[in-house]
Amino acid sequence: PTMIRLEDYRPSDYLIDRVELDVRLHSRETRITATLAMRPNPVGRAGAPLVLDGEDLTLVSLALDGQPLCPDAYGLNATSLTLPNPPSESFTLRIETQVNPTANTRLMGLYRSNGVYCTQCEADGFRRITYFLDRPDVMAVYTTRIEADLDEAPVLLGNGNPADSGPAGDGRHYAIWHDPHPKPAYLFALVGGRLDRVSGSFTTMEGRTVDLGIYVEPGQAARAEYALDAVIRSMAWDEQAFGRAYDLDVFNVVAVSDFNMGAMENKGLNIFNDKFVLASPETATDADYANIEAIIAHEYFHNWSGNRVTCRDWFQLCLKEGLTVFRDQEFSSDTRSRAVHRISEVRTLRARQFPEDAGPLAHPVRPNQYAEINNFYTATVYEKGAEIVRMLRTLIGGQAFRTGMDRYFATCDGTAATVEDFLAAFEAVTSRDLSAFARWYERPGTPTVSITGDYDPEAKTYRINFRQSLPGTEGPPLVIPVVLGLVGPEGAMDEARAERAPGGVFALEQETDTLTFSNVAAAPVPSLFRGFSAPVRVAFEATDAQHLLLLRHDTDPFNRWQAAQSVGMRLVIRWAGSDSPEAAEADALVEALGAFLDAEALRDPAFAALILSLPSEGDIANEIGIGSAVDPDAIRMARETLRRRIGERLSDRLAQLRGDLADRPGTPFSPDAASAGRRALRNAALDLIAVADPIAGVDLAGEQIATATNMTDRLAGLGVLALIAGPQREAALKDFAERFRSEPLVLDKWFAIQATIPESGTLERIAALRQHPTFSNTNPNRVRALIGSFSSGNPTQFNRADGAGYALVTDAVLALDQSNPQLAARLLTAFGSWRMLEPNRRSVAHKALDRIRSQTELSRDVSDIVTRTLA
Ligand code: B3K
Ligand code: ZN
């Protein structure tokens, strides 16, 4: 495969200042006329040939400065259109192309989703609409005329502001949209279809009134209200938190049912996977509401971090994605509970990014080469990218961070920028040298920080010795912010002082270093990496009693949660390697959890639900996998032993909590964080009760389903039943399918719950579900619900020792590869941790991957993933 390398970057030889598009929508023969105002780039190579990107296009005509060009005046192949000697001054190129939106199953470029015309251009889909310089550092002002049958597409939307509209004869009509902000082609979008609209308005701090519209398939408008509210709250928050105001007269969001990812930040016209727009109490869980809010915010925040300041090249993807994830995390933290949100961010990071960074698909947050850029929209670029921004803020402080952000937006506005430009803004406002910090962008892998501590009772000092390591990569040490404090038997030891940790922040900049606290009255327990201040693994030998002291007394909620996780992790790992786990070994933890619940459960139920959650099977596998071999069955058994013990010993308290947290009959549903937290704890209690006493669990879950007034409780009940084989489970699944038979997004939950049943019959179940009338191989949400949930959420069955789980996924990958390679490649990343498996499963997984590699006609997407996974 051809590798594209960061070191080979050079500016484009030509620029495009203005683009006029005339798009005549027809289901199979859409005609696009692009009129491009171009000129040589003063910093490009003079006299270079002009090479425009193109893919799956039919060229209808081509004219240069009004003169039609005959075919021998240009070169044309499957990926480009070349003019060997373009003019040396400004010129106009007029290109007419034809595309078939109905046949576009890749969902890149212009396609139809349930009859709605829509586009997806990031990273390189615009070249599937017209020949273009399809790279983010070529920025132009776009005017788009869209024409369609009035009947088929009464709604016509484009980027920017509406300029004109009217009839176009023959039952057709048109709309013209003008976007005054120069933008790269990947932010282009248009939509045409029969859609309902929910409207709102927002007045910016600059006094601009913005018309807001959420467009959804007919009949779904009531389910778009929450998304509209989230848009309004996002706009207000970005003004208040970052001083960023919206810059157009309209902001539209369109929900479509076939979409390769979550959503897309096209200028003024965000296009969303309908799953992240539509919500009602009956159909959406609390997690769905939280996701909708976060993704609406994320795409909106891109208007500044991504659109006003875009990326010079795709290596800089984290510049917009890491930063925008950080921004949406801050928004959710301000909107909900900061502590609870931080814990859920870290759970996501550990579940998705740590394994990526520990396996063959590891790459730097700013990769230095790629074969297929669409495979780099990863947890590393997004989530670890956000952690880097967070560490920067921790190191320089909140105020300097905000000043630096202002400077970044001011100096880079309207440009295609780099990570260096971003860091330069903070260097300028702090006069600090961030070149050592910048190593976070270059070094793949999760560093380990090993820590020991000694207390000197005479001197009343406590010394903490740090050692950082990042095996497998060469290079100087990283700059690691360690937020820390000391905790004693009575709680926080605020009188202890460490000069080198002002404000409780120590910057670990050397491979080894020692920090000394003075005025330490008694032997303390260090509370390290508070708030998860750096994306590292921490190796500190604490006893269970020390962890449990932190659970009880630490002032940092993240580390209280981490303490319970650490004790649980250690027990499960020990049991996974033993034939006869001694459940009573868990009792110190169980008792501490009980005491915690008594004292605090009702005060902060959302936090309590997290304290009760154990490390996932995946977390445990990652931890084991660093040193030895992973056996998913042994992990599951050990983890269930712990869950059962907690459920047995705390059953009375848990039952009591369920009662205390129940809504009074008639309480209207609210998706706010506090209400969601009560439901979360109630359902965590149900889950533990059921694992300890399945007979009671079946009854309680059945009753919860029968009386549920919202999807969170209904699905939690079904989730509990799904783990208890028997006629009640089958009946509940059948009822659910019947009740929601015309709700594809709800049936996705039903697919997912069945795909994750940790039983050997699940493979047959999935085979049957693929024949279900609502299942469809061409809809990414359906495929991810059934196949993606299986590979990512069912470790024992995906990793079946007989290889049948691998076969199911590889068959699905191959079946999808020709029609939708991006989706196929994403599914294949499930094999990213195969090298950590015990030898038998490892060799079975290896064979499955080899079978894919040996196929003759693989897409670039899948071939890139399989090659790197096996490398
Ligand atoms: N920027 C898009 C992702 C595009 C993915 C292209 N394969 C959504 C987002 O991160 O906001
Ligand atoms: Zn994004």
The DSSP annotation for 59-125 comes to: EEEEEETTEEPPGGGSEE-SSEEEESS--SS-EEEEEEEEE-GGG-TT--EEEEETTEEEEE-TTTT
Ligand 1 in reach of 299 Cβ (< 6 A): yes
Using CA atoms, how far apart are residues 835 and 868, in angstroms rounded to an integer?
12
Taking only the tens place, the pLDDT of each residue in 576-614 is 999 899 999 999 999 999 999 999 999 999 999 999 999
- Asked whether residue 33 carries a pLDDT value surpassing 90, the answer given is yes
Strand pairing report for 250-256 and 209-216: parallel
Residue 240 CB neighbour total at 10 angstroms:
11
Task: Measure the CA angle with vertex 776, ends 297 and 817; round to 5°.
Answer: 85
pLDDT level of residue 626 (50, 70, 90 thresholds):
confident
Q: Is 570 helix (H, G, I), strand (E, B) or coil?
A: helix
Using CA atoms, how far apart are residues 600 and 374, in angstroms rounded to an integer?
45
Q: Write out the residue limits of the CATH 1.25.50.10 domain(s) in the chain.
A: 740-871
- Asked whether residue 72 carries a pLDDT value surpassing 80, the answer given is yes
Ligand 1 in reach of 122 Cβ (< 6 A): yes
| DSSP-assigned beta bridge partners for residue 140 | 183
ipTM exceeds 0.95, yes or no? yes
In this structure, the chain runs to a length of: 871
pLDDT level of residue 849 (50, 70, 90 thresholds):
very high
State in Å: Cα 262 to ligand 1 middle: 8
State in Å: Cα 266 to ligand 2 middle: 11
Question: What percent of the chain has pLDDT above 90?
Answer: 98
Q: What is the pLDDT of residue 471?
A: 85
Using CA atoms, how far apart are residues 457 and 466, in angstroms rounded to an integer?
21
Q: What is the pLDDT of residue 1?
A: 74
State in Å: Cα 301 to ligand 2 middle: 9
pLDDT level of residue 460 (50, 70, 90 thresholds):
very high
Ligand 1 in reach of 381 Cβ (< 6 A): no
Ligand 1 in reach of 300 Cβ (< 6 A): no
Report in angstroms the alpha-carbon separations of 379 from 273, 316, 385, 537, 764: 19, 15, 8, 17, 31
For residue 18, give both structure tokens. Answer: 């203005």
Ligand 1 in reach of 319 Cβ (< 6 A): no
Ligand 1 in reach of 576 Cβ (< 6 A): no
Ligand 1 in reach of 634 Cβ (< 6 A): no
Give the relative orientation of helices 605-612 and 338-348 as an angle to the nearest 10 degrees: 30
Q: What is the DSSP letter of 154?
A: S
- Atom 5 in ligand 1: which residue has the minimum CA distance? 122
The mean pLDDT of the chain is: 98
Topology (CATH) of 310-442: Neutral Protease; domain 2 (1.10.390)
- Atom 1 in ligand 1: which residue has the minimum CA distance? 264
Using CA atoms, how far apart are residues 743 and 761, in angstroms rounded to an integer?
26
- Asked whether residue 844 carries a pLDDT value surpassing 80, the answer given is yes
Q: What is the pLDDT of residue 665?
A: 87
Using CA atoms, how far apart are residues 34 and 81, in angstroms rounded to an integer?
14
The runs of H, that is alpha helices, within 215-307 are 225-242, 286-301
Using CA atoms, how far apart are residues 847 and 813, in angstroms rounded to an integer?
15
3-state helix/strand/coil string of 34-70: EEEEEEECCCCCCCCCEEEECCCCEEEEEEECCEECC
Average pLDDT over residues 532-542: 98
- Asked whether residue 396 carries a pLDDT value surpassing 90, the answer given is yes
Q: Quick one: which atom of ligand 1 is closest to the CA of 299? A: 11
pLDDT level of residue 750 (50, 70, 90 thresholds):
very high
Using CA atoms, how far apart are residues 660 and 10, in angstroms rounded to an integer?
64
- Asked whether residue 383 carries a pLDDT value surpassing 90, the answer given is yes
Q: Write out the residue limits of the CATH 2.60.40.1840 domain(s) in the chain.
A: 448-534
The CATH architecture that domain 4-194 belongs to is Sandwich (2.60)
Using CA atoms, how far apart are residues 129 and 449, in angstroms rounded to an integer?
49
Ligand whose nearest atom lies closest to the CA of 323: 2
Q: Quick one: which atom of ligand 1 is closest to the CA of 260? A: 7
- Atom 9 in ligand 1: which residue has the minimum CA distance? 264
List, in order, residues 6 or more apart from 340 with CB less than 8 Å away: 604, 606, 607, 610, 673, 677
State in Å: Cα 533 to ligand 1 middle: 26
Q: What is the pLDDT of residue 529?
A: 99
Ligand 1 in reach of 298 Cβ (< 6 A): yes
Q: What is the pLDDT of residue 854?
A: 98
Residue type at position 204: T
Average pLDDT over residues 95-117: 98
What is the CATH number assigned to the segment(s) 740-871? Answer: 1.25.50.10
Q: Which CATH superfamily is domain 448-534 in?
A: Aminopeptidase N, middle-beta domain (2.60.40.1840)
In the numeric block, the tokens 């579900």 are attached to 769
Using CA atoms, how far apart are residues 322 and 319, in angstroms rounded to an integer?
6
pLDDT level of residue 340 (50, 70, 90 thresholds):
very high
Pocket test for ligand 1, best of 118, 377, 829, 860 (most atoms within 8 A of CB): 377
Ligand 1 in reach of 265 Cβ (< 6 A): yes
Q: Write out the residue limits of the CATH 1.10.390.10 domain(s) in the chain.
A: 310-442
Ligand 1 in reach of 825 Cβ (< 6 A): no
Q: What is the pLDDT of residue 473?
A: 79
What positions carry a catalytic annotation? 299
pLDDT level of residue 754 (50, 70, 90 thresholds):
very high
Tell me if 129 sits within 8 A of 101, measured CB to CB: no
Q: Write out the residue limits of the CATH 2.60.40.1730 domain(s) in the chain.
A: 4-194
Pocket test for ligand 1, best of 264, 271, 378, 829 (most atoms within 8 A of CB): 264
The tally of CA atoms less than 13 A away on the side-chain side of residue 5 is 5
- Atom 10 in ligand 1: which residue has the minimum CA distance? 321
Taking only the tens place, the pLDDT of each residue in 131-185 is 999 999 999 999 999 999 999 999 999 999 999 999 999 999 999 999 999 999 9
pLDDT level of residue 472 (50, 70, 90 thresholds):
confident
- Atom 8 in ligand 1: which residue has the minimum CA distance? 264
State in Å: Cα 743 to ligand 2 middle: 28
Using CA atoms, how far apart are residues 467 and 482, in angstroms rounded to an integer?
12
pLDDT level of residue 627 (50, 70, 90 thresholds):
confident
